[in-house]
Structure 1
Amino acid sequence: MLLLRLELPNVPGSLGRLASAIGAAGGDIESIEIVEKRADGTDVDDVLLDMVDGAMPDSVVSACNAVDGVRVLWISRYLAGGNLFPDLEVVESLTADPTRALDVLVDALPVAFRCEWAARLADTGSGGAIEHATEGAPSAVDLRPGSGTERQAVGDDLVAVAPMADGRVVVIGRRGGPEYLDSEIARLGHLVALAVSIARAP
């Protein structure tokens, strides 16, 4: 299964032309999610797809780029569960067991954000202890001090950081890309704040 992140015009028919191009190149679309709507009239979408036997990912990329106004931003293998994971499903998992909401959030973030790992740290300093992390997270996450939700780099990983208002932070990491969009940064901050509220509820 492949995950394709692309930019396309927000005009009638553009999604249909894109789907036709992907199908003609040997791709079978499983799901599509709008990641960001931009002021310039374009959308950034994540497309999850399978390849028919013998079809190559390069052919899908070429077919997409040949559609007027479409630009492929990223393509990678996608093994994290085989479907896109809407934020509503994350929220449902948090409310199912409020006492574990902070751990459940960290566990859900790699699938929700199509990234490799997530962790909750005691603080942002170089000695910040990892309180909870998913498989694949580095053993140490050295962050520069920040004042809010932001992008950083940890070694070769691109990370997004969201504070928890008590000195702790939640971090998600991607190896090699794509860079986190403004909409993803905002989503992370919202989900972290929601998890904190749920965990505090009586």
Structure 2
Amino acid sequence: MPYLLRVELPDVPGSLGRVATAIGMAGGDIEAIEIVEKRHDGVAVDDVLLETAPGAMPDSIVSACNALEGVEVVWISRYGAGGNLFLDLEAVEELTSEPDIALDRLIDLLPVTFRADWAARVSKNDGVVHATDAAPRDLEWVRVDRAATVVSEDANAVRCVARLNKTDVVVIGRRGGPEFLDSEVARLGHLVGLAMSISRAAAKAALG
């Protein structure tokens, strides 16, 4: 079964190798790794997609990683998004391949791109206008000038919001964590801006 593990580790040569060895010894097989953030305090945050061997428990993998000096598992959960990490570049390629529906397609892609549970487009005037299946249907429009994390009504959930245009925002949410890092907030703002540019270019081309 695939799991996604987010881990903090020292940003020095050999750290990732130690983590990979610990995961392997605990019965995990690494499929992909993505660097999520490199912090100024010398700590890196990585997302690790792994498969577990029969009988291997995710708790054992977490314990093996946490036993390493300077390493801490932030979060682990089952991951059913096709057995791969979906990178920002792939999302942009998807948007440019379907520019006429780029804004809706963006919402569909955001959960897997950010390892979130849901995404939605919320209008100031009309409420939720497009959302993935798990998104709450009572989301309210939030005024933001740039991408930012926002307080969720659900104490077990975290949310991030980015402005799409004057009346619409994009919201993504995770239930049970982890918190959205500054680098993820910046990425969301960038992707939303690209989607808006692609959509505008498509509309302009349609007008001739």
TM-score normalised by the chain length of structure 1: 0.95
Within a 5 Å distance, the mapping from 1:4-43 to structure 2 comes to 4-43=5-44
- Number of residue pairs aligned between Structure 1 and Structure 2: 199
Q: Which residue of 2 aligns with 1:86?
A: 87
Q: Which residue of 2 aligns with 1:191?
A: 191
Identity within the alignment, %: 61
Q: Which residue of 1 aligns with 2:74?
A: 73
Deviations 1:151-178 (Å, cap 9, x if unpaired)? 1133322110000132210000101110
Q: Which runs of 5+ in 1 are unaligned?
A: none
Q: Which residue of 2 aligns with 1:114?
A: 115
CA distance in 1, matches of 2:145, 2:108: 24
Do 2:35 and 2:47's aligned partners in 1 also have CA atoms closer than 8 Å? yes
Deviations 1:130-189 (Å, cap 9, x if unpaired)? 111111111111355333211113332211000013221000010111010000000000
CA distance in 1, matches of 2:51, 2:59: 13
SS in 1 for 2:151: strand
Deviations 1:108-144 (Å, cap 9, x if unpaired)? 0000000110001112xxx651111111111111355
Aligned alpha-carbon RMSD (Å): 1.2
Deviations 1:8-39 (Å, cap 9, x if unpaired)? 11111111111000000001111000000111
Q: Which residue of 2 aligns with 1:147?
A: 145
Do 1:122 and 1:169's aligned partners in 2 also have CA atoms closer than 8 Å? yes
SS in 1 for 2:8: strand
